[in-house]
Structure 1
Amino acid sequence: MDRVAGALERVNSVIGNTLCWAALLMLLLQFVIVLLRYVFGYSFIFLDEGVLYFHAAIFMLGAGYTFLVNAHVRVDIFYAKATARSQAWIDLFGHLFLLTPALLVLIWFSWPAVRGSWAILEGPISVGGIPASFLLKSLIPAYCVLLLIQGVAAFIRDLQKLKGADA
């Protein structure tokens, strides 16, 4: 089980490390946009949309990595003071009854829009923009799949914690 969890975690680890470079590229693109607009007086919609695409990709594809490194926001005031065993039980409950159903519902309801967008290769958001809205919409199910992958890995890790606590 440890090997399975490790393999699942590597998926989000590779994606998260790659997205670090995407963040740098987004920053450079935004710098170019500001330079072109305020120094040279030029503005290009496709460059502005490029920042939007980078931003969406970083956040949507990076959610699984954020979960992997335990950097997501926790609002449970009892979790921090709980024992490791109690934390594992809370996490197991959250994975099974909150995370997984929510992501499956999101995939279910977003899939027709994504499929339809791919069917027509939906064009730009704005006139003169990037002609690939279908890629942007595809981030929704990708987000769900990556979080589900990490949720399974975390579920396995929590089961291991409970087994270790029982031994």
Structure 2
Amino acid sequence: MQRVLIPVDQVSTFVGKLFAWSIVILTVAVSYEVFSRYVLRSPTTWAYDASYILYGALFIMAGAYALSRNAHVRGDFLYRTWSPRRQALMDLVLYFLFFFPGIIAFIFAGYGFAAQSWMTHEHSAYSPDGLPVYQYKTLIPATGVLLLLQGIVEVARCIFCLRRGEWPQRLHDVEELENVILAQHAEAANPTGGRP
């Protein structure tokens, strides 16, 4: 089963990490705008558009990556006290009640927005240069497809957990600070690791 789940996680990870570089480009663009505006007294005409396009791309394209790492916000104060089977059952119900209908609507609406934007070669109306935004709007249905694929994988994980009583392994590349602190406290409380 892992041979089926992990490749989708890897695609989500690759896309998320690729678009994470948007923050570097965004930082350079905003820094240049600040320098140009306050030192050279010549503000750019493209910085506002570039900033919302880059930040938006980073935000939406990281969704599937966050889902693959189980990093989306939930009511953890309740959820973490439940057994894995109960967690999986609740996740499964919520995926079918809210996630899949929302993502399917997101894909169809996003495709409409992107198609219309490409037909009109839409440019931004917020700056004099009017940067093109039709490529950016193409990310909307692309994000939806990535989230749909990752959602299918998450449903498979829920079914696995319902059958086995434990969650299958996930790829890990980052760790919640809370988990790191809890592990450090557990290690400090038991420095021998349970050995006599």
Provide TM-score, normalisation by structure 1.
0.89
Alpha-carbon distance between aligned partners in 2 of 1:11 and 1:5, rounded to the nearest angstrom: 10
Q: Per-residue deviation at 1:77?
A: 4.9
Aligned to 2:48: 48
Alpha-carbon distance between aligned partners in 1 of 2:146 and 2:82, rounded to the nearest angstrom: 28
**Cα deviation per residue 1:98-117 (whole Å; 9 max; x = unaligned)?**
10101111222333222111
Asked which structure has the greater CA Rg, the reply is 2
Q: Per-residue deviation at 1:143?
A: 2.2
Aligned length: 165
Aligned to 2:129: 128
Would the aligned equivalents of 1:5 and 1:152 in 2 still touch at CA under 8 Å?
no
TM-align CA RMSD: 1.8
In the TM superposition, what are the counterparts of 1:32-111 in structure 2 within 5 Å? 32-75=32-75, 77-111=77-111
Q: Which has the higher contact order (CA 8 A, sep 6+)?
A: 1
2:148 is the counterpart of 1:148 = yes
SS at match of 1:70: coil
**Cα deviation per residue 1:40-72 (whole Å; 9 max; x = unaligned)?**
111122222111111010001011111112221
Alpha-carbon distance between aligned partners in 1 of 2:67 and 2:101, rounded to the nearest angstrom: 17
List alignment gaps of at least 5 residues for structure 1.
none
Alpha-carbon distance between aligned partners in 1 of 2:149 and 2:81, rounded to the nearest angstrom: 27
Would the aligned equivalents of 1:123 and 1:134 in 2 still touch at CA under 8 Å?
yes
Cα 1:68/1:58, change in 2 over 3 Å: same
Identity of aligned residues (%): 27
Report which of the two has the higher share of helix.
1
Provide TM-score, normalisation by structure 2.
0.77
Would the aligned equivalents of 1:36 and 1:42 in 2 still touch at CA under 8 Å?
yes
Aligned to 2:190: none
